[in-house]
Amino acid sequence: MNDSIYTQIQTISDGGFGSCDVYTMKSGGIERKHYHNGIEIVYVIKGNCKTHKQGQVYVYQKGQIHEVINDSKNELVFVCLTIPPESKENTMYI
């Protein structure tokens, strides 16, 4: 994960219905604009940045374009529930 924007990705569940992962994003990390072929729910456990705030829940509907820009000096930690499960086929970068 040396070139990754994440220092850690912990999979909690990766079942047929959906997936749940905890992401730790590096300071300065950018998850560029993308959308999913399903719903994504994000809860920020730790950190504040340009696009996400600690304690907030973000719900992205199917096809809704979004991004994560960690412009802070700290890591950003968030839980991500994706239905259907997170995959290369489910995530479209633009």
- Each of the 94 residues of the chain gets a pLDDT tens digit; together they read 457 999 999 999 988 899 999 999 999 999 999 999 999 999 999 999 999 999 999 999 999 999 999 999 999 999 999 999 998 889 999 9
Alpha-carbon gap, residue 47 to 64, rounded angstroms: 23
- Domain positions in the chain are 6-93
Q: Specify the long-range contacts of residues 57-60, CB closer than 8 Å, at least 24 apart.
A: 60/35, 60/36
CATH of domain 6-93: 2.60.120.10
pLDDT on residue 1 = 46
